[in-house]
Amino acid sequence: MTSGMRIGVVTFPGSLDDRDAVRAVRIAGGEAVALWHADANLHSVDAVVLPGGFSYGDYLRCGAIARFAPVMTPLVDAAKGGMPILGICNGFQVLCESHLLPGALVRNDHLHFICRDQKLRVESTSTAWTSEFEVSQEIVIPLKNGEGGYVADEKTLDQLEAEGRIVARYLDVNPNGSRRDIAGITNERGNVVGLMPHPEHAVESLTGPTTDGLGFFTSVLTSLVNR
Amino acid sequence: MSRHVDTVTDAAADPNAAQPFAELGLKPDEYQQIREILGRRPTSAELAMYSVMWSEHCSYKSSKVHLSQFGDKKPQTDILLVGIGENAGVVDIGDGWAVTFKVESHNHPSYVEPYQGAATGIGGIVRDILSMGARPVAVMDPLRFGAADHPDTRRVLPGVVAGIGGYGNCLGLPNIGGEVVFDSSYQGNPLVNALCVGTMRHEDIHLASAKGVGNLVVLYGAKTGGDGIGGVSVLASETFDEGGPAKRPSVQVGDPFMEKLLIECTLEVLHAGLVEGIQDLGGAGISCATSELASNGEGGMHVRLDAVPLRDATLTPEEILMSESQERMCAVVTPEKIDAFLGICRKWDVTADVIGEVTSTGRLVIEWHGEIIVDVPPRTVAHDGPVYNRPLARPDWQDALTASGSSNLARPTTAAEIRDTVLTMVASPNLAAKTWITSQYDRYVLGNTVLAQPEDSGMVRVDEVTGRGVAVSTDCNGRFAKLDPYNGAKLALAEAYRNVAATGAAPLAVTNCLNFGSPEDPAVMWQFSEAVRGLADGCLELGTPVTGGNVSFYNQTGDTAIHPTPVVGVLGVIEDVNKRTPMGFSAAGDVVLLLGETRDEFDGSEWAHVVHGHLGGVPPQVDLAAEMVLAALLVDLGGRGVLTAAHDLSDGGVAQALVEMALRRGVGVTISLLADTDAFVALFSESTARAIVTVSPANVDIAISAAAAAGVVVTRMGSVADAGSDMVIDNIAGSSVTLSLDELSQASEATLPALFG
């Protein structure tokens, strides 16, 4: 059964988890639409996923070049207009570089790339991408990054806390030195979410540690129906 | 800067000019052979091409006479769609799907520059797979290092691991397994092997051949630079005046981002039907690609070397021919399709240039700004290199080594001693958890990883609709191969075969990476010939053909060679990955069964190595008939859903396997040894053709009767306990041993971070 909702998945040069994001959208019941970095057109999608990977090799700062891709112009406008946008890992970095989300992602404090099944606590269910979770629900989804340490100045961190814009926190282990164990944040409106762990890798019990990641994709489909 | 280029005309006019063939690694008779082929002296560009293509690495001149056994003894099979000799063999896995897989070495570069050496090892094997027309879907890394606590291991290992992760992660390929072995025999000669698996539909198979006179030769991917030129720099220094380019690193530098673009771009041009023939550029660069494409096709090619895009305009033609710059491919395209081909390259921001065309002249002709600098029969470069029947001799120390068995080593007897031995073994570098390494690799990307390390084999889903998938395992115990290279190779094959079957996949085909010392040492050559003979015999007996592989010689410092290390990779197919068998205990109450017979076999064992630092005697008995029966049983019971877990028995024996099965999901176990058994032998022997399985109580009779029908000895060992409970072994010298999972986990997980963290 599909919801009839069209979720765009952007491919930049060096995007790696775009196929996974497409699969997750499909399993959640949405229609996945491939979007190309060089095409300044969102093709009437209802929401967009910026997938993980190493856009442009991440040879400058992660996400710093992708932010200038033609597709980002209509995407930034749409985000400001309320379209649900989820940036996963490299996509989170692109959202920060695009100033759709505050702060930045820096090299892991232990200096190694890390891939692990990560426990998280969902802190906010008032975003377009987390509405189907329970507040304080504990989930396990894969995490894999080399530059996943979330940083922002203290004032911004305080503001994120005060406004309930921390979407998820790391539990048990802080895998990358993120400030205040932050794994994901949202914008003021709650439509743009950046997440360092990978929900698209936890949508099938066959290939993922859990199917906890599916909630992010079913949430957006539900919130689109209910808008 | 101007420099006179040595042309074919020059070579004819000045036939006796002295040439630095020895510095390029050519023997006097090889140089003479080149002169006879050409009927004149080679130009410096030709000399460069022959020297690198006739090198051991490219020509297999020392190994060819032995490797032919893989063809001569090939089992009767119809699964091979492409056999040995192409970039990688291709296997039919059913439903119209084909899989290509291959393992290669990047040992020497990884010792010199661990990060880039290991990174470009991944890059090279991935392009081999890509050039067959397949989408690369997974990588694995069999690694061997010197002693874990040696300072140089601390230099090499973190760089190798970071390089594999840095390249593979950025390329978007899951790393699903491999090996990490420490042994002082690899001190100064670490082994960095890389395996890649690719999948495609049967009709998508492509080959490296330049067909169709008038078709265009396109070089695409990264620009050519001065990296990886190696010995050819000698030519430049021989012929250059002051002010020539500085010597450049002979280790290549990788750009995984470019490789990712190259993968997507290549698959798009292949699927659009725009390619007649394709070849990756790896060792020997443009020399290899042009001569092999021409040799496999119409036989002729005309190349304009000055059309090659360069990173460094000062490169000489010889250097351009030899450069091993990474992330380059060569395609043969018809004139009608060239615009479409170049258009797709532009879409992916991949540089592409037409550098020549296919001819019917039977010659590979290369020009440089209008002058002919190469004019050779391509087959003489690519395929008809020298072949050596090198002298071989059983080493004079082999008898003494065989005579020095492990039977006199002090064995633990009391329950307390057994307990200490379990913990010592679990924490030893070869048996300890490899999490510190594998957590630096992405195992999730592409979303088809069904099993990854530390499972017995890596498994990926190939078809998302039907669930058809493949499993791969690589194995080799170099100590066994040192004790007996013939049986050591068979044991490596048996272990990889068993590992694949343990996960529920039926073993199909074999690849290998044969790592040895110097072929100029008759003792090493004997080890090599014995190992190849053993592997070929073993593959014939198991019915699993060798699809390709790689030889790495000269893994030797002075007179000391590494343990002979024939790494064997086995590929298996599983009809539905949903039915795979994992290795970890899961449900309390499941019954633990031992399949196979345990003998008193400790020569070359992990116990003798860890506890006594001893190596001698004869390796465990290899019984491939028993392996086939066991594998068939594991696949049958797994496919019928009878097994809840299965784990092969190898290094460290039953004790280590139980620990690994318990720690996988944090579930305890209670084992009771039979009253009349020697606990030490039961727990630590490394007898082959064995596995531990678990079944639900309801399925015990089914499993036992199936094993009995197959003729496999079954021993009921105990039962799975609750999550978080202890591992208990009863009946050890009248007492019992209890180990908490925390204690075991701590012992297993702490070792590598303490050494390398």
DSSP state of B244: P
- pLDDT at position B230 is 62
Instruction: Give one word for A154, left, alpha or beta, with left for phi > 0 and alpha for psi -120 to 50.
Output: alpha
Which residue type sits at B695? V
Look-up of token digits 């699903």:
B176
Can you give the CATH number for the domain in which A58 is found? 3.40.50.880
Say if B461 is an interface residue toward chain A (CB within 8 Å): yes
Q: Which of B479, B493, B569, B482 is nearest to B524 (CA)?
A: B482
> Is A83 among the domain residues?
yes
What confidence tens digit (pLDDT) does each residue in B95-150 have?
999 999 999 999 998 998 999 999 999 999 999 999 999 999 999 999 999 999 99
**Confidence label for A225 from pLDDT (cuts 50, 70 and 90):** confident
Q: Please say if A62 is a catalytic residue.
A: no
Any chain A CB within 8 A of the CB of B261? yes
pTM of the model: 0.95
Q: Which of B393, B290, B224 is nearest to B46 (CA)?
A: B290
Is B256 in Cβ contact with A54 (below 8 Å)? yes
Burial (Cβ within 10 Å: 0-12, 13-18, ≥19) of residue B532: buried
Q: Cβ of B172 and A142 within 8 Å?
A: no
Rounded CA separation B379/B429 (Å): 47
* C-alpha distance from residue A193 to each of A91, A143, A171, A208, B108 (Å): 10, 16, 19, 22, 46
Per-residue pLDDT band at B1 (split at 50, 70, 90)? very low
Q: Is residue A62 part of a domain?
A: yes
Q: Considering the domain boundaries, does residue A1 fall inside one?
A: no
Span B578-597, mean pLDDT? 98
Would the pLDDT of A15 be above 90?
yes
In a domain, A27, yes or no: yes
How far is the CA of A51 from the CAs of A8, A88, A143, in angstroms? Answer: 10, 5, 13
Closest CA to B682 of B635, B645, B632, B737: B737
pLDDT at B719 over 50: yes
**Digit-coded pLDDT (tens) for B605-636:** 999 999 999 999 999 999 999 999 999 999 99
| Nearest-by-Cβ selection for B578 from A54, A206, A208 | A206
Q: Could you tell me what percent of chain B has a pLDDT over 70?
A: 97
- Say if CB B470 and CB B93 are below 8 A apart: yes
For residue B284, pLDDT beyond 90? no
Helix (H) or strand (E) holding B715: strand B714-723
Cα–Cα–Cα angle for A93, A94, A95, nearest 5°?
Answer: 90
Q: Mean per-residue pLDDT for B572-601?
A: 98
Q: Considering only the beta carbons, identify the residue of B166, B446, B449 that sits closest to A19.
A: B446
Residue A199 is part of which domain span?
Answer: 6-225
Please indicate if any CB of chain A lies within 8 Å of the CB of B443: yes
pLDDT of residue A18: 98
Contact B261 A207 (CB under 8 A): no
Domain count, chain A: 1
Q: Which of A54, A116, A198 sits opposite B170 (nearest CB)?
A: A54
In A, which residues are within 8 Å of B267 by CB distance?
A: none
Q: Which pLDDT belongs to residue B163? A: 97
The region of weakest confidence among A9-13, B379-383, B660-664 is B379-383
Nearest residue of B to residue A59, measured between CA atoms: B257
B203 Cβ under 8 Å from any chain A Cβ: no
Residue B82 · residue B206 · CB < 8 Å:
no
Rounded Cα distance between B693 and B458, Å, is: 18
CB contact at 8 A, B252 and B109 = yes
Cβ–Cβ contact B666 with A under 8 A: no
CA dist B379 and B385 (Å) reads 9
Residue numbers in A near B258 (CB within 8 A): 57
Q: pLDDT class for B239, splitting at 50, 70, 90?
A: very low
Q: What are the tens digits of pLDDT across the range B461-498?
A: 999 999 999 999 999 999 999 999 999 999 999 999 99
Q: Do A57 and B450 touch (CB under 8 A)?
A: no
pLDDT tens column, A62-120: 999 999 999 999 999 999 999 999 999 999 999 999 999 999 999 999 999 999 999 99
Q: Which of B44-53, B205-214, B273-282, B373-382 has the lowest mean pLDDT?
A: B205-214
User: Which alpha helices (DSSP H) does B666-740 contain, by range?
Assistant: 679-684, 700-710
CB within 8 Å: B444 and A208: yes
Query: Residue B124 in contact with residue B171, Cβ under 8 Å?
Result: no
Mutation pick from A27, A115, A117, A212 vs chain B, by most beta carbons of B within 10 Å, is A115
**Integer Cα distance of B557 and B185 in angstroms:** 10
- Rg of chain A over CA atoms, in angstroms? 16
The beta-carbon neighbor of A198 closest among B171, B444, B578 is B444
Distance from CA of B440 to the nearest CA of A (A): 5
B3 has pLDDT over 80: no
Q: What six digits make up the tokens of B92?
A: 């039919």
For residue A43, indicate whether it is catalytic.
no
**Which of B444, B446, B577 has the most A C-beta neighbours within 10 Å, making it the best mutation to test the interface with A?**
B444
Structural domain includes residue A184 = yes
> Can you say whether residue A181 is alpha, beta or left, with left for phi > 0 and alpha for psi between -120 and 50 degrees?
left
pLDDT surpasses 50 at B238: no
